[in-house]
Chain A
């Protein structure tokens, strides 16, 4: 038996680490990795509350989140490789054509 707040704290730590990574990294692949960290934190919460309520729905939605994350990584890396092919860099602070 695990206390619920412990699991939630672990998830909060993972999520805020991901937030730091997204804000502090300039390499696009590392930013995508940090986003994965945040999605995993959400999944931990979903599974923990699924066991808290004895309802399997939370785990079903964790599966959906995993599938959407896989699609996101596929598209994201395709875009990153396209940017690298066109600009010879994947530093996202140098890709600012659309910035006002």
Chain B
């Protein structure tokens, strides 16, 4: 194990615990705060994998913007507190399906790569490389995403404005 791997394992443990707390929290605001921890851990994993631009975008967009949106959504809807109010009756079935998905994915990964599988040698991911690829090869999807964001903006405004006229 290298130092990077130790750092990754620590990050992954923190992320796993906070993700599990996120889906089991009894208070919606606590769930949002656990979401902050999980998303920051994922951003740290990106930085550890030397994907610096994606890492900082993760921190900026997810932790900075999306979590704030979630908090606004929570504040505007006055959610009750308590397990019965937040979870439905299918918790056991959901747990079984979740564990089944996990087992299937672990089996797939194990059969594709051995435990001592290939080592990642992070080599790409600087902002310059990403920008070069984005604006040379993927400029059309980039424009499509900007159009999607515009449509989502207009859609959100149209959906949530209060139309008092008959």
Measured CA separation A10–B11 after assembly (Å): 10
Assuming the A-B contacts A44-B45, A60-B134, are A29 and B74 also in contact, with contact meaning beta carbons closer than 8 angstroms in the complex? yes
Measured CA separation A60–B137 after assembly (Å): 10
User: Does A24 sit at the interface, judged by CB under 8 A?
Assistant: yes
Q: How many positions in chain B have a CB within 8 Å of any CB in the partner chain?
A: 91
Q: Is the interface of B mostly helix, strand, loop or mixed?
A: helix
Measured CA separation A67–B15 after assembly (Å): 22
Measured CA separation A72–B151 after assembly (Å): 11
Structural contact, A17 and B23, CB atoms closer than 8 A: yes
Measured CA separation A18–B31 after assembly (Å): 13
Structural contact, B42 and A59, CB atoms closer than 8 A: no
Q: Mark B16-28, 1 if CB is under 8 A from A, else 0.
A: 1001101100001
Q: How many positions in chain A have a CB within 8 Å of any CB in the partner chain?
A: 69
Structural contact, A7 and B130, CB atoms closer than 8 A: no
User: Does A98 sit at the interface, judged by CB under 8 A?
Assistant: no
The count of A-to-B residue pairs whose CB atoms sit within 8 angstroms is 267
Q: Which of B88, B97, B130, B137 contacts A93 (CB 8 A)?
A: B88
Structural contact, B28 and A30, CB atoms closer than 8 A: yes
Structural contact, B57 and A51, CB atoms closer than 8 A: no
Measured CA separation A14–B116 after assembly (Å): 21
Chain A residues lying within 8 Å of B35, measured Cβ to Cβ, are 33, 36-37
Structural contact, B133 and A10, CB atoms closer than 8 A: no
Measured CA separation A51–B4 after assembly (Å): 15
User: Shortest Cβ distance from B118 into chain A, in angstroms?
Assistant: 5
Assuming the A-B contacts A1-B5, A67-B149, are A51 and B77 also in contact, with contact meaning beta carbons closer than 8 angstroms in the complex? no
- Among all A-B residue pairs, the 5 with the closest Cβ atoms: A20-B98, A23-B94, A21-B23, A71-B152, A16-B102
Q: Could you pull out 30 A-B pairs where Cβ atoms are within 8 angstroms?
A: A1-B120, A1-B121, A2-B5, A2-B8, A4-B117, A5-B109, A5-B110, A8-B105, A17-B16, A17-B22, A17-B23, A19-B94, A20-B98, A23-B94, A25-B23, A30-B31, A44-B42, A47-B54, A56-B124, A56-B133, A59-B124, A63-B57, A70-B61, A72-B152, A73-B66, A74-B152, A74-B156, A75-B159, A77-B69, A77-B70
